[in-house]
Amino acid sequence: MMWLLSLIPNFVYHLLLLASIVAFGSCYILKMIPFISTNVEIIRVISVVVMIFSVWMEGGIANETKWAARVAELEIKVAKAEKEAAEANGKIETVYVDRVKVVKEVQYVVQSRIDKNAAKLDLTCKVDPLAIEILNQAALLGVKK
Amino acid sequence: MKSVIMLSLIFLTGCIATPVARNFPSAPPSLTSTCDQLIAAPITDKLSVLISNVTTNYEKYHECSYKVDAWNNWYIEQKKIFESVK
């Protein structure tokens, strides 16, 4: 029945509770007034029913307020977490890019050394085609199609 | 009996709703590409060509290795951040 809270403003339940308490209390005075005294029991029963309903809805309002506060708190935490996640992404990407840059720099140095010493390397060693075949077999083993 | 079930369903609607939505964290764009394939060595009798090919493949391995490391870090960091929200 808590969906009623979204349809009717909270102050209505506060007023209902107040009115039911006043009605219940006034029953003791109304009992003394002729003509009305015959209907006092009906007023008392109705006021008790309205009072129970209002108290129950007041409990619902308190619970709803507590959960709304919890949701607001969580929304702040989620927003903070999303910001932290974006920052962590930035740091991780920077580290990765820097490492790849170092790899490429080292590769450039190594390649330069090979180019510089190519004549010497090729003079002292001839590669057998079988060596190439074995090497390629290892390099392309389980290669993704 | 039917009306009791229907009423229960109406009363339970408030319990189903989850008001705080969380987005799955995005990954850094540079990590989302796949690793390069190793390059086959050309048929040659020159050692310098073969060494050049091998070092190029080493470079590819190192790049891929750092990418895997970055993914592991990404997972650890994002898990830590995800679990901090309670």
Q: Is B13–A129 a contact, with Cβ atoms under 8 angstroms apart?
A: no
Host domain of residue A45: 4-139
Assembly ipTM:
0.77
Checking if the pLDDT of B41 tops 90, the result is yes
Nearest to B38 among A95, A127, A139 (CB): A139
Checking if the pLDDT of B68 tops 80, the result is yes
pLDDT, position A9: 86
Rounded to a whole number of angstroms, the distance from the CA of A38 to the nearest CA of chain B is 37
pLDDT, position B59: 96
Best to test chain B binding among A5, A64, A89, A145 (most B CBs inside 10 Å): A89
Helices marked H in A117-126 — which ranges? 118-124
Chains A, B: CB contacts within 8 A come to 127
Q: Is A103–B44 a contact, with Cβ atoms under 8 angstroms apart?
A: no
Checking if the pLDDT of B13 tops 70, the result is no
pLDDT, position B6: 66
Distance between CA atoms of A99 and A143, rounded to whole angstroms?
A: 25
* pLDDT tens digits, one per residue of B25-40: 989 999 999 999 999 9
Q: Is A90–B28 a contact, with Cβ atoms under 8 angstroms apart?
A: yes
Q: How many domains are contained in chain A?
A: 1
- Tokens standing for residue A99: 């490492």
pTM of the model: 0.72
pLDDT, position A33: 80
Using CA atoms, how far residue B29 sits from A96, B24, B32, in Å, is: 11, 15, 5
Residues 21-60 (B) with a CB less than 8 A from some CB of A: 22-23, 25-31, 37-48, 50-52, 54-59
CB of A92 closer than 8 Å to CB of B77: yes
pLDDT, position A7: 81
Nearest to B81 among A81, A92, A97 (CB): A81
- Asked if residue A144 is part of any domain, the answer here is no
Best to test chain A binding among B51, B76, B80 (most A CBs inside 10 Å): B51
Distance between CA atoms of B70 and B81, rounded to whole angstroms?
A: 16
Low-confidence stretches of chain A (pLDDT < 50) are: none
Q: Residues near A77 by Cβ (< 8 Å), separated by ≥ 6?
A: B84, B85, B86
